[in-house]
């Protein structure tokens, strides 16, 4: 412990990666984290998970939390409602896409996604269409680590070794700019699934409107959105958005679903709702999804201990108040475009950098093999891991992934700073990031001198 680093032999915690050395974070201030050895890290990832949208140590959130904990910290939803839950529900309806009227609170992202799936299924059952249960999703996705959400990704790398527990759900390939720029191949795959499975078995199409870690900053092309909306109307399934990351301003809108060409029927959200101060998620739906319950069984009997607890709702209400008052969502929308250009300019002359894209403060950097930019980097080089380690050494928190073996994407980095980051700190993040990428690119250069032998097509 004297180095200020914890390894798996010196802890009782079961860490995420047993070979990783973990610094001990002891305090946070704005967009800076400090560890027990006094090292400071600039947070380009909003608390590491994209949750901490308003930075560390926000005094108004702390005050709201404290005040609610003093008056009524917790009461279960089975016997009572509470004023903050009621108010939060009303507030969310004012920023959700038009036609949304109901919300159910949960404890986090995976819970929200699972409940969204349950809500869609129950909607069909209430309407007398009990054959509808399948949920179609884009394969290159991450929706959480629970068994229900792991079934919603088409990535064997994430599903193993839990695959025996996972119901088989159909997936379509993502229409990325290289594989399927028009989105037609994805629509053809969707048609094939609907035909083979039978439209009467499809409950929902489930997706991120703008992807986070799985395909940073990616959103499907317009033709895909329009084709998806047409098929939803024709076949009667629901459209669910996983807005666990994108909800509450991340893409420069309250919800990505406020502006997508196909409007969702159900939205699951989480991270930014509690802004990293408390675990809270929410499932929002249109009146037409709620209506069959109102006319039918009049019961929605699925819930968790923490659903809608006052202290959680008080934090979320304060988050909404700050986002509104400080105009932060407009800032993310406008400043995000400049940030994307800053990143592009800083990385332009590095041959392994393929694309920089995204919306608001949800940006992705995608890497390619410099010898043949139509291919991903060879996975054995472990570039994503190298980037995150080098960035940490330079005092920058990033999140890179390498789903190359799943076949749809290569090494990539997500860039998702807190909304309150100053222009100077954004510039410093970009500068540290560019230095990181240069260093890693120089380090792998000798390994890339030979002919292209491995790595998938980019």
Separation in Å, CA 294 to CA 102, 103, 109, 126: 12, 14, 26, 10
User: Of the candidates 95, 110, 434, 437, which one interacts with ligand PLP according to CB under 6 A?
Assistant: 110
Show the binding pattern over residues 23-62: x = contacts ligand PLP (CB under 6 A), - = does not: --------------------------x-------------
Q: Does 245 bind ligand PLP (CB under 6 A)?
A: yes
Distance CA 44, CA 36 (A): 20
User: Of the candidates 52, 139, 213, 391, which one interacts with ligand PLP according to CB under 6 A?
Assistant: 213
Q: Give the total of residues touching ligand PLP (CB under 6 A).
A: 15
Residue 335, classed as helix, strand or coil, is helix
Q: Does 194 bind ligand PLP (CB under 6 A)?
A: no
Q: Are 398 and 213 in contact (CB under 8 A)?
A: no
Q: Cβ closer to ligand PLP: 145 or 443?
A: 145
Nearest approach in angstroms of CB 142 to ligand PLP is 5
Q: Are 30 and 55 in contact (CB under 8 A)?
A: yes
Q: Are strands 412-415 and 134-138 parallel, antiparallel or unpaired?
A: unpaired
DSSP 129: -
Burial bucket for residue 436 (CB in 10 Å: 0-12, 13-18, 19+): buried
Q: Does 244 bind ligand PLP (CB under 6 A)?
A: yes
Q: Does 310 bind ligand PLP (CB under 6 A)?
A: no
Q: Does 109 bind ligand PLP (CB under 6 A)?
A: yes
Nearest approach in angstroms of CB 351 to ligand PLP is 30
Q: Does 272 bind ligand PLP (CB under 6 A)?
A: no
Burial bucket for residue 130 (CB in 10 Å: 0-12, 13-18, 19+): exposed
User: Of the candidates 270, 313, 430, 440, which one interacts with ligand PLP according to CB under 6 A?
Assistant: 270
Cα-Cα-Cα-Cα torsion 397, 403, 404, 409, nearest 10 degrees, comes to -90
User: Of the candidates 115, 151, 190, 212, which one interacts with ligand PLP according to CB under 6 A?
Assistant: 212
Nearest approach in angstroms of CB 14 to ligand PLP is 17
Residues across the chain: 458
Q: Are 75 and 59 in contact (CB under 8 A)?
A: no
Q: Does 388 bind ligand PLP (CB under 6 A)?
A: no
DSSP 410: -
The number of CA neighbours under 13 Å toward the Cβ of 9 is: 1
Q: Does 114 bind ligand PLP (CB under 6 A)?
A: no
Range in contact with ligand PLP (rule: CB under 6 A) among 104-112, 183-191, 222-230, 437-445: 104-112
Q: Does 265 bind ligand PLP (CB under 6 A)?
A: no
The number of CA neighbours under 13 Å toward the Cβ of 6 is: 15
Q: Which residues bind ligand PLP (CB under 6 A)?
A: 49, 108-110, 113, 142-144, 208, 212-213, 242, 244-245, 270
């Amino acid at each position: 412990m004297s180095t200020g680093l914890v390894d798996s032999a010196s802890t009782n915690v079961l860490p995420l990666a047993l070979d990783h050395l973990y610094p001990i974070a002891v305090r946070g201030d704005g967009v800076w984290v400090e560890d027990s050895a006094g090292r400071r890290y600039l947070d380009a990832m909003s608390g590491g998970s994209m949750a901490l949208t308003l930075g560390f140590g926000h005094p108004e959130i702390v005050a709201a939390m404290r005040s609610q904990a003093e008056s009524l910290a917790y009461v279960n939803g089975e016997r009572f409602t509470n004023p903050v839950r009621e108010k939060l529900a009303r507030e969310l309806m004012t920023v959700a896409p038009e036609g949304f009227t109901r919300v159910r609170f949960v404890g986090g992202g995976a819970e929200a996604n699972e409940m969204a799936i349950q809500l869609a299924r129950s909607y069909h059952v209430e309407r007398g269409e009990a054959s509808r249960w399948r949920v179609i999703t884009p394969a290159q996705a991450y929706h959480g680590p629970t068994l229900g959400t792991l079934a919603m990704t088409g990535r064997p790398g994430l599903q193993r070794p839990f695959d025996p527990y996972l119901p088989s759900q159909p997936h379509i390939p993502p229409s990325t700019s290289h594989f399927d720029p028009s989105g037609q191949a994805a629509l053809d795959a969707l048609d094939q699934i609907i035909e083979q499975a039978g439209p009467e078995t499809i409950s929902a199409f489930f997706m991120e409107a703008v992807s986070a870690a799985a395909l940073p900053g990616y959103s499907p092309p317009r033709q895909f959105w329009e084709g998806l909306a047409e098929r939803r109307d024709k076949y009667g399934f629901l459209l669910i958005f996983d807005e666990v990351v994108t909800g509450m301003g991340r893409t420069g809108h309250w919800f990505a679903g406020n502006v997508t060409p196909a409007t969702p029927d159900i939205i699951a959200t989480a991270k930014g709702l509690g802004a990293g101060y408390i675990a809270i998620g929410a499932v929002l739906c249109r009146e037409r999804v709620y209506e069959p319950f109102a006319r039918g069984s009049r019961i929605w009997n699925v819930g968790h201990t923490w659903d809608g607890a006052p202290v959680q709702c008080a934090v979320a209400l304060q988050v909404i108040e700050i986002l509104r008052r400080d105009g932060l969502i407009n800032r993310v929308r406008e400043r995000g475009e400049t940030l994307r250009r800053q990143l592009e300019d800083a990385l332009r002359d590095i041959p392994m950098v393929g694309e920089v894209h995204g919306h608001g403060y949800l940006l992705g950097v995608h890497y390619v093999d410099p010898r043949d930019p139509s291919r991903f980097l060879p996975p054995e080089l472990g570039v994503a891991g190298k980037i995150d380690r080098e960035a940490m050494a330079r005092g920058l928190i990033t999140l890179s992934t390498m789903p190359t073996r799943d076949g749809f994407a290569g090494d990539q980095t997500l860039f998702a700073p807190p909304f309150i980051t100053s222009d100077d700190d954004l510039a410093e993040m970009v500068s540290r990031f560019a230095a990181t990428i240069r260093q890693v690119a120089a380090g792998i250069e000798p390994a890339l001198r030979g002919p292209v032998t491995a790595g998938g097509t980019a």
